[in-house]
Amino acid sequence: MSFHLILFLVFAAICGAGAINLLAQRHPINSALSLIAVMGALAGEYLLLGAEFVAAVQVIVYAGAIMVLFVFVIMLLNAGEEEETKGSRVAFLFGIPGMLIAGLLVAWIMLRHSLTAAVPIGALPGPPAEIAQLLFHNFLLPFEVTSVLILIAIMGAVVLASKPEPRAGKVE
Amino acid sequence: MSLPLSIFVIVSVIKSVVVLFVLLTSVAYTVWLERKVVGHMQNRWGPSRVGPFGLLQPAADGLKFLFKEDLTPPHVYKPLFLAAPMIAVIFALTSIAVVPFGNFVTVDGYSIPLQITDVNIGLLLILGVTSLGVYGVALAGWSSNNKYSLLGGLRASAQMVSYEIALGLSLVGVLIQSGTFSLRSIVDAQAGHFWGFIPRWNIFHGQIIGFFVYLVAAYAETNRIPFDLPEAETELVAGYHTEYSAMKFAMFFMAEYANMITVACVATLLFFGGWHGPLFGPAVLQAILPVFWFAVRVFCFLFLYIWVRGTLPRFRYDQLMSFGWKFLLPVAIANLVGTAIAVAW
């Protein structure tokens, strides 16, 4: 077993353990920190696959910006421990088996019917220049459409946040 | 890699140990420098009792921190209360790994770069690691279970997320000009002179606005005066580290000064030509001089930090936010667009 593979499995184990811990923890801040660990481990996996740029962006955007906002909101609302429920029966009867079947199906399709069974390390674009070439040349239209989509989402958030509550029955 | 694996490992270990030792010593003596310089600016002596010019003061302080009682107040959330100072220090020390501080040195036929590791996303790595440093401050504030700490932590995370954007955008101008993320290549692109006497540093190469935006945003990122609202003592006792004592408090202190040094290194590398400078004398001197020029520039930035601290008052919080979003960010974007047009021309 090569050193790369061992590291890959270690990061995968951290990733899985973090994801399970995220669900198992009862305090929101512990869940948020588990999610950060998952993001960090994912960045490690990208790095091992030779995608340095994606790894760095994963850390900067997800762990460094989005999760900071999560933690910020948890701190600001001073969210306490969650209450435990017995769980829903629908989830036990249909949800969990359905998820297992869907996961196995996806894994089977990816293993059996994918055109490139395993891509060797370095065959996919890793350096920033090649990713820039892909994003701003080959896939320019999807990229710009996505940015417009995000812009619309931002505008929606601003509208929702800035609209004053209409107060019924109050005459100014 | 021209080095065999065994030699590569030995060289890397030696480099890591030396760089870490130099970094921690510089952290200790930056604290001494700050106390001394601010002291003289305020017409007092600063540390003067321990050793000549108070030079042994950092050692005395370190011992004092180690021997103090390590208090953990009741009602704190213990796991995070313990983890927060570690997170702050780890991420503050990590980013030095990709900072190059000199050219190649040839030892026994092997050419060794004066840098722990040269990755082709060096700058992104520094940005990523420093953006994780905010968790140390935020979690310290939250886990202390104290209103002052919580407010300090909230202020710190809001401030750092806001100024990170201007900081990142201010660096993009340099990246467009040099066309790489590797810090070594960015420095190499700044070799030479304009008209034979002005050094070809990026600050003289159209990035002067970018430099000032970077400087201001970096001061905010490191929570230094005039942006030290997370620990504003007149409002928040000591902000996020109010409940910390002994070595845990010292770790926040170390993280702050290590971050200052990283900021100074990045400014030197990106805007002031890194280690480029006049080379003369025998071969040994020629090998040492680049490191010396680099250290001189970093020292100037640290001195500037202290100078600003001794000069400026603190912002009000609303001023801080509107300055960051309504002034610094548009200027950074304008600089980026201007650079892009100039390069495309």
pLDDT in tens, B88-97: 899 888 888 8
Tell me, yes or no, if A76 comes closer than 8 A to chain B by beta carbon.
yes
Nearest by CB: A64 against B80, B128, B158: B128
pLDDT computed for residue A44 by the predictor? 87
Contact B124 A53 (CB under 8 A): yes
- Taking 90 as the threshold, does the pLDDT of residue A149 lie above it? yes
Q: Which domain holds residue B158?
A: 5-344
Coil vs helix vs strand at A103: helix
- Taking 80 as the threshold, does the pLDDT of residue B281 lie above it? no
- Taking 80 as the threshold, does the pLDDT of residue B14 lie above it? yes
Name chain B contacts of A68, Cβ cutoff 8 Å.
Answer: 131, 134-135, 138, 157, 160-161
What percent of chain B has a predicted confidence (pLDDT) above 70? 99
What percent of chain B has a predicted confidence (pLDDT) above 90? 3
Contact A128 B119 (CB under 8 A): no
Among A77-91, A136-150, B159-173, the range scoring the smallest mean pLDDT is A77-91
List the structure tokens of B222: 């490191």
List the structure tokens of B225: 């005066």
* pLDDT tens-place string over residues B203-217: 777 788 888 999 999
Contact B128 A56 (CB under 8 A): yes
Tell me, yes or no, if A171 comes closer than 8 A to chain B by beta carbon.
no
Chain Cα centroid distance, residue B119: 19
Tell me, yes or no, if A73 comes closer than 8 A to chain B by beta carbon.
no
- Taking 90 as the threshold, does the pLDDT of residue B342 lie above it? no
Tell me, yes or no, if A64 comes closer than 8 A to chain B by beta carbon.
yes
- Taking 50 as the threshold, does the pLDDT of residue B102 lie above it? yes
Chain-wide mean pLDDT for chain B? 84
Tell me, yes or no, if B172 comes closer than 8 A to chain A by beta carbon.
no
In whole angstroms, give the CA distance from residue B318 to residue B105: 50
Question: Which residues does residue B112 pair with via DSSP β-bridges, in sequence order?
Answer: B105
Q: Are B138 and A75 in contact (CB under 8 A)?
A: yes
- Taking 60 as the threshold, does the pLDDT of residue B72 lie above it? yes
Query: CA of A132: how far to CAs of A119, A125, B177, in Å?
Result: 21, 10, 16
Contact A75 B80 (CB under 8 A): no
Please state the rounded mean pLDDT for residues B116-127.
81
pLDDT computed for residue A76 by the predictor? 80
In whole angstroms, give the CA distance from residue B177 to residue B165: 20
- Taking 60 as the threshold, does the pLDDT of residue A158 lie above it? yes
Please state the rounded mean pLDDT for residues B56-81.
85
Of B280, B293, B114, B306, the residue nearest B219 (C-alpha)? B306
Cα–Cα–Cα angle for B309, B218, B264, nearest 5°?
80
ω into residue B226 within 30 of 0, thus cis?
yes
What percent of chain A has a predicted confidence (pLDDT) above 70? 84
Nearest residue in chain B measured CA to CA from A66: B161
Tell me, yes or no, if B131 comes closer than 8 A to chain A by beta carbon.
yes
Please state the rounded mean pLDDT for residues B260-280.
84
In whole angstroms, give the CA distance from residue B316 to residue B309: 16
Tell me, yes or no, if B91 comes closer than 8 A to chain A by beta carbon.
no
Tell me, yes or no, if B173 comes closer than 8 A to chain A by beta carbon.
no
State the alpha helices, DSSP H only, in chain B. 5-41, 57-67, 78-94, 122-132, 134-143, 147-178, 183-188, 208-221, 233-236, 246-271, 283-311, 317-322, 329-344
Tell me, yes or no, if B153 comes closer than 8 A to chain A by beta carbon.
yes
pLDDT computed for residue A166 by the predictor? 65
Coil vs helix vs strand at B194: strand
pLDDT computed for residue A104 by the predictor? 92
- Taking 90 as the threshold, does the pLDDT of residue B194 lie above it? no
Name chain B contacts of A52, Cβ cutoff 8 Å.
Answer: 119-121
Q: Would you place residue B1 in the very low, low, confident or very high pLDDT band (cuts 50, 70, 90)?
A: very low
Name chain A contacts of B132, Cβ cutoff 8 Å.
Answer: 59, 63-64
- Taking 90 as the threshold, does the pLDDT of residue B52 lie above it? no
Contact B121 A56 (CB under 8 A): yes
* pLDDT tens-place string over residues A69-116: 888 888 887 766 777 777 777 777 888 888 899 999 988 887 777 666
* ipTM reported for the complex, 2 dp: 0.77
Q: Are B265 and B298 in contact (CB under 8 A)?
A: yes
pLDDT computed for residue A26 by the predictor? 81
Q: Mind giving me the DSSP string for B69-107?
A: -----TTS-HHHHHHHHHHHHHHHHHGGGG---S-EEEE
Q: Which residue has the higher pLDDT, A113 or B126?
A: B126
What is the rounded (10 degree) CA torsion for B20, B68, B305, B265?
Answer: 10
pLDDT computed for residue B232 by the predictor? 72
List the structure tokens of B178: 């040099």
Q: How many domains does chain B have?
A: 1
pTM of the model: 0.83
* pLDDT tens-place string over residues A44-59: 888 888 778 888 888 8
